[in-house]
Amino acid sequence: MIPPGETIGILGGGQLGRMIALAAAQLGYRCHIYAPEGDPIAADVAAQFTQGAFDDTAALAAFAANCGVVTYEFENVPVAPLAAITPHAPLYPPARALEVAQDRVNEKRFVDALGGRTAPWQAVDSEADLAAAMAAIGTPGILKTRRDGYDGKGQWRIMTAEQGQALDLPDVPLIYEGFVDFFGEFSVILVRGGDGAIAFWDSAHNHHVDGILARSTVPAPAAIAAQVAAARVLAGKVADALDYVGVLTLEFFATDHGPVFNEMAPRVHNSGHWTIEGALTSQFENHVRAICGLPLGATALAARGTVMDNLIGDAAHDWATILSDPANHLHLYGKAAVLPGRKMGHVTRLIL
């Protein structure tokens, strides 16, 4: 057990780290942010900050030596250098979860092996591979980079084989996925404690615009809610197989044939921001409780429902209008530059 008063190390300095640090502070912990950038928004609300590269093993070891436990808010941290952390402090969730989630092929293999349903997929490393994948799986489909993609970046929709053949393939490992005919998207977010106990939050219906999450609504419509039980079974198997500790997110497509796994994130997730006000214990607080070995908090709804809207790019300028409605909960992440497509904050409304 890492008792309150100790220091939690967080790799990554974005809004997820910022919200973990806020929840940790409430429980009496100090947070130490480790990030490559000079002025990360998570460090604004944390006790300590180290600027360092994610592959600087000496700096990682010195950082970990001052932490009771280390976690991460960013799933693309390189895995091998993390070995410098574990002699000094436990790392939760385990590095194996990162290995699986960082590579879309590993992730799909892992879920397939556990009996989950995925879109038909094939690894693509050349134009010939793409042609073979399109022939086997058909079009339309989506070509994605295996690693480092987020918010719809590193993805190409392919409507016809001709369109696929005309693509100038980037020189990185890729995956081709058949297009899933879904009627909705939802996520399963769970927290697993060190003793193996798992708690789930209600699943949000996620609405994406241009590949970026725009709105999460809880409860989800009945047709989606009907698929949550099956999705939870898979999510629980994933968490157990990874001996997971902390918050884990799996994203699903709701289809006429049941839930199809899309991807997982070994961390707190944007589609769980509604839990700050909308659940008895937020995803951020329960992540802290889990990695510190504290009892988990209740995950039940705090209201009949909750709607969370992301503030993307210029939408963050509307803060005064948002605050003019006293029922709105405004969260701004403190990012200096407003850029198109950038997640600047979110607004939560409870349905009472």
Give the nearest distance from C-beta 110 to ligand AMP in angstroms: 15
* Beta carbon nearer to ligand AMP, 27 or 142: 142
Q: How far apart are alpha carbons 186 and 207 in whole angstroms? A: 8
d(CA 340, CA 346): 15
CB nearer ligand AMP, residue 141 or residue 345? 141
Note the residues at the interface with ligand AMP (CB under 6 A): 119, 142, 149, 152, 177, 179-180, 185, 208, 211, 251, 262-263
Beta bridge partners of 330: 347
* Nearest distance from C-beta of residue 102 to ligand AMP, angstroms: 13
Q: CA 16 → CA 22, 136, 144, 247, 249, distances in Å?
A: 10, 39, 24, 12, 13
CB of 211 to ligand AMP, least distance (A): 5
User: Minimum distance between the CB of residue 224 and ligand AMP, rounded to whole angstroms?
Assistant: 14
Nearest to ligand AMP of 202, 251 (CB atom): 251
Q: Which of 242, 248, 245 is nearest to 293 (CA)?
A: 245
Residue 176: which residues within 8 A CB-CB, separation 6 or more? 121, 122, 124, 130, 133, 134, 137, 141, 142, 143, 144, 158
Closest chain position to ligand AMP (CB)? 180
Host H or E run for residue 290: helix 283-292
Nearer of residues 30 and 146 to ligand AMP, judged by Cβ: 146
CB 119 within 8 A of CB 260: yes
Closest distance to ligand AMP from the beta carbon of 120 (Å)? 9
- Residue 122 vs 262, nearer CB to ligand AMP: 262
